């Protein structure tokens, strides 16, 4: 599609609703056995959003319980399940954490959106190993089923971290299935990462050099490195934990001379990088959202690209900041504290670059952009409070309080999940071929954004005043904050329900989406919505994916088109033509 003329036939195809990946073949089997990365991505998306709903239910249960000191709603559950109220509450927050981390956030961007977008963005026909890709999806399914199985076997109350010796001795019946489930999910994540690394290395079409890749791909690439290098350590840790619990091998058991702190080293050697498995691809999405929706060339492309890789590398040498109060030695505390501060540098590089990209941009406040801006705001808060926690002396006070809870929710939910939802809106027309209702989108965004801050900003206050995490009971003086926080969580969940509503409604009565509804330049926007089975009929022409000067609005297409005839005249003028 070198010219506008060449572009037309493809978009005409859509209007005729010709062959695309959704209509390519029909029936359950054609989905269950598909090797098409787009369908696998969609299946991941459905699974992840379903798990998000379940995890959200437990979040609401937890928040509702905290409306008042003492047992509020755990009582009936405790009676029904024949358990102590505290144990019921322990199971709730554990389930919330484990589901959200292992089943939702870790696979959400790389496995769901990444699977769909990465090959199209790259200009490839598929990922390098399609069968392995399908296999890792089924591993995810098995992992999810193991989580259900563990619920049926009596649940688990270990916290999502499975710390020994509690996890090896906890009387809850579902510990082994959930640990095995996390083990399997880990392999799902490893295989996805392997697939992406090989795809990016070996399947780039002619002309797609490393520095022409969209920043989302750089982010996915960095994430994949972490997935491949860190997750095996989680796998061996969980395997040892299962062996410990079944045959009492004693490596983590202090009563047998073993070392429970070693478990924490192992766990966080994975789980700190895992935080970056969650946040780095979110940063990649935000790079796309900010530049496309402000129609301005991304500022500092190479800095953003390299800072992704730098974050991936740094992430492996800071894990000890989770263990400042776990009996880790003073020497290591100091070292880990110092290195943890340095992670702030590449993160800040990104934030500054995004902010400068916005400067004098032609900003369209579409829903994806609103989520992108929310990310900027929330990630800054989440990141800066991370510095509080990396400070040794402050951490001793704040450790295991709601301050930590608020911090990682700002990062994991306020940043990673918000960016994921932004990306979901951004690529929704591409994935489904339908436009969602923009006004409902903006309205729901307001609810989510306000609700989120009401929920979690109060928790900073709670934490700094000493409210510990993981308790269902508390001193009466904390009640006001808890009530505000709970109300915020209700507002937020209303926002999410509205989002689900208008997204589902768009499938039925949404407008047909043009190939390029936002004015993006990366390759996925040169391909029809939804993309055909093989993505590109002819090898796509690769250009500067952030040069929006030759993108213009076309009434005919009801979307943007790349018009290379604009090239010579508009080279000097960075402001693109915009047609709304």
Partner 1 sequence: MSTVDANQASGAPVPHSHAVDHGHGGEHAKHPFLAHHFETPAQQFDSSKLGMWLFLATEVLFFGGLFVAYAVLRNRFPEVFSYASHYLSTTMGGINTCVLIVSSLTMASAVYFAQRSRKRAMLVCLWLTMAGAAAFMVIKYFEYTHKIHEHLVWGSTFYVPPDHEIAVIEGSHEIAAPAAVAQGGASSHATAATSHAASTSTDSVGEVLAPAAMLAAGGSPSFVGAPLTELSAVKPASRGPLGVALSGSTDAAPHGSETIAEGHPSAHLEDATMPANVHLFFAVYYAMTGLHGVHVLVGMVVIGMLIYRGMRGDFNSNFYTPVDLVGLYWHIVDLIWIFLFPLFYLIH
Partner 2 sequence: MSHEPHSPPPIEAAAGGHAHAAVHPAGDQPLVGHLVPMTTLVVTACALLVLTCITVAVRYMDIGEFNIYIALGIAVIKASLVALFFMHLRWDRPFNMIVFFGCVLFVVLMMGFCLMDTSQYRHEQINGNPPLVAETLLQNAPNAPVGRFDQ
How near is the Cβ of 165 to partner 1 at its closest, in Å?
5
Beta carbon nearer to partner 1, 136 or 458: 136
User: Rule CB under 8 A: is residue 30 a binding residue for partner 1?
Assistant: no
Site for partner 2 in 207-226 (CB under 8 A): 208-209
User: Rule CB under 8 A: is residue 332 a binding residue for partner 1?
Assistant: no
The residue written with tokens 């992840």 in the block is 48
CA distances from 296 to 303, 362, 527, 579 (A): 17, 7, 21, 15
Cβ(563)–Cβ(552) under 8 Å? yes
Q: Give CA–CA dist 395/399, Å, rounded.
A: 5
What sections of 248-366 are H helices per DSSP? 260-293, 301-314, 330-358
How near is the Cβ of 36 to Cu ion at its closest, in Å?
36
User: Rule CB under 8 A: is residue 50 a binding residue for partner 2?
Assistant: no
Q: Give CA–CA dist 46/111, Å, rounded.
A: 11
DSSP assigned state of 434: E
Q: Which stretch binds partner 2 (CB under 8 A): 45-53, 200-208, 425-433, 480-488?
A: 200-208
Site for partner 2 in 333-372 (CB under 8 A): 335
Q: Give CA–CA dist 346/342, Å, rounded.
A: 8
By CB under 8 A, the count of residues binding partner 1 is 58
Q: Residue 183 is encoded by which pair of tokens?
A: 């083990």
Cβ(140)–Cβ(44) under 8 Å? yes
Q: Which stretch binds Cu ion (CB under 5 A): 77-85, 208-216, 271-279, 394-402?
A: 271-279
Residue from 233, 277, 462, 561 binding partner 2 (CB under 8 A): 233
Q: Which stretch binds partner 1 (CB under 8 A): 75-83, 174-182, 362-370, 532-540?
A: 532-540
How near is the Cβ of 107 to partner 2 at its closest, in Å?
23
Side-chain-side CA neighbours of residue 21 (13 Å): 30
Q: Any idea what the Cα angle at residue 571 is, between residues 568 and 572, rounded to 5°?
A: 125
Going by C-alpha positions, the residue among 389, 179, 169 that lies closest to residue 272 is 389
DSSP assigned state of 537: S
Q: Give CA–CA dist 366/11, Å, rounded.
A: 23
Residue from 2, 3, 17, 255 binding partner 1 (CB under 8 A): 255
User: Rule CB under 8 A: is residue 534 a binding residue for partner 1?
Assistant: yes
| Residue 337 dihedral angles phi and psi, to the nearest 5° | -60, -45
Residue from 57, 81, 142, 203 binding partner 2 (CB under 8 A): 203
Residues 6+ apart with CB under 8 A from 555: 579
Beta carbon nearer to partner 1, 133 or 337: 133
User: Rule CB under 8 A: is residue 151 a binding residue for partner 2?
Assistant: no
Site for partner 1 in 92-151 (CB under 8 A): 124-132, 135
Residue from 7, 272, 297, 482 binding Cu ion (CB under 5 A): 272
Q: Give CA–CA dist 353/92, Å, rounded.
A: 40
| Residues of this chain that bind partner 1 (CB under 8 A) | 35, 124-132, 135, 165, 168-171, 187, 190-191, 193-195, 197-198, 201-203, 228-233, 235-237, 239-240, 243, 247-251, 253-259, 262, 265-266, 533-534, 537-538
Contacts to partner 2 by CB under 8 A: 201-204, 206, 208-209, 229, 233, 254, 257, 259, 261-262, 265, 269, 316-317, 320, 327-332, 335
């Amino acid at each position: 599609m070198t010219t506008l003329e060449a572009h037309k036939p493809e978009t005409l195809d859509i209007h005729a609703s010709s062959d695309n990946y959704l209509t390519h073949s029909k029936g359950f089997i054609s989905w269950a056995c598909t090797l098409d990365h787009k369908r696998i991505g969609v299946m991941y998306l459905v699974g992840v959003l379903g798990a998000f709903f379940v995890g959200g239910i437990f979040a609401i249960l937890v928040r509702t319980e905290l409306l008042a000191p003492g047992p509020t709603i755990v009582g009936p559950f405790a009676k029904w399940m024949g358990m102590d109220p505290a144990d019921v509450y322990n199971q709730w927050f554990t389930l919330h954490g484990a589901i959200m981390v292992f089943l939702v956030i870790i696979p959400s961007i790389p496995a769901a959106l990444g699977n769909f977008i990465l090959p199209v963005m790259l200009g490839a026909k598929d990922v390098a190993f399609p069968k392995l890709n399908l296999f890792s999806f089924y591993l995810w399914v098995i992992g999810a089923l193991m989580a259900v199985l563990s619920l049926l076997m009596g649940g688990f109350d270990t916290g999502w971290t499975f710390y020994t010796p509690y996890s090896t001795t906890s009387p809850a019946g579902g510990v082994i299935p959930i640990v095995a489930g996390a083990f399997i999910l880990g392999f799902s994540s490893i295989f996805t990462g392997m697939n992406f690394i090989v795809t990016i290395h070996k399947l780039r079409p002619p002309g797609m050099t490393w520095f022409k890749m969209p920043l989302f791909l750089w982010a996915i690439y960095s994430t994949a490195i972490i997935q491949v290098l860190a997750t095996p350590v989680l796998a061996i840790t969980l395997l040892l934990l299962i062996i410990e619990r079944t045959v009492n091998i004693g490596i983590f058991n202090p009563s047998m001379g073993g070392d429970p702190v070693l478990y924490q080293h192992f766990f966080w050697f994975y789980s700190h990088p895992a935080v970056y498995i969650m946040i780095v691809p979110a940063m990649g999405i935000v790079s796309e959202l900010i530049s496309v929706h402000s129609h301005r060339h991304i500022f500092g492309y190479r800095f953003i690209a390299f800072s992704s890789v730098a974050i991936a590398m740094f992430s492996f040498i800071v894990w000890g900041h989770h263990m400042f109060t776990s009996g880790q030695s003073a020497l290591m505390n100091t070292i880990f504290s110092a290195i943890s501060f340095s992670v702030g540098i590449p993160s800040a590089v990104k934030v500054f670059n995004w902010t400068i990209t916005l400067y004098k941009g032609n900003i369209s406040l579409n829903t994806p952009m609103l989520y992108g801006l929310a990310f900027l705001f929330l990630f800054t808060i989440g990141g800066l409070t991370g510095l509080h926690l990396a400070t040794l002396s402050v951490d001793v006070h704040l450790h295991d309080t709601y301050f930590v809870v608020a911090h990682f929710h700002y990062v994991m939910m306020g940043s990673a999940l918000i960016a994921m939802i932004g990306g979901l809106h951004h690529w929704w027309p591409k994935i489904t071929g339908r436009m969602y209702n923009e006004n409902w989108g903006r309205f729901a965004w307001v609810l989510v954004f306000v609700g989120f801050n009401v929920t979690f900003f109060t928790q900073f206050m709670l934490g700094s005043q000493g409210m510990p995490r993981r308790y269902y009971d508390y001193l009466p003086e904390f009640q006001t904050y808890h009530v505000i926080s709970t109300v915020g969580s209700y507002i937020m969940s209303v926002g999410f329900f509205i989002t689900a509503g208008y997204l589902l409604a768009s499938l039925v009565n949404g407008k047909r989406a043009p190939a390029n509804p936002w004015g993006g330049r990366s390759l996925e926007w040169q391909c029809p919505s939804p993309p055909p089975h093989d993505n590109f009929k002819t090898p796509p022409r690769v250009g500067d994916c952030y040069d929006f000067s030759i993108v213009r609005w076309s009434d005919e297409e009801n979307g943007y088109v790349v018009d290379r005839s604009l090239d010579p005249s508009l080279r000097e003028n960075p402001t693109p033509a915009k047609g709304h």
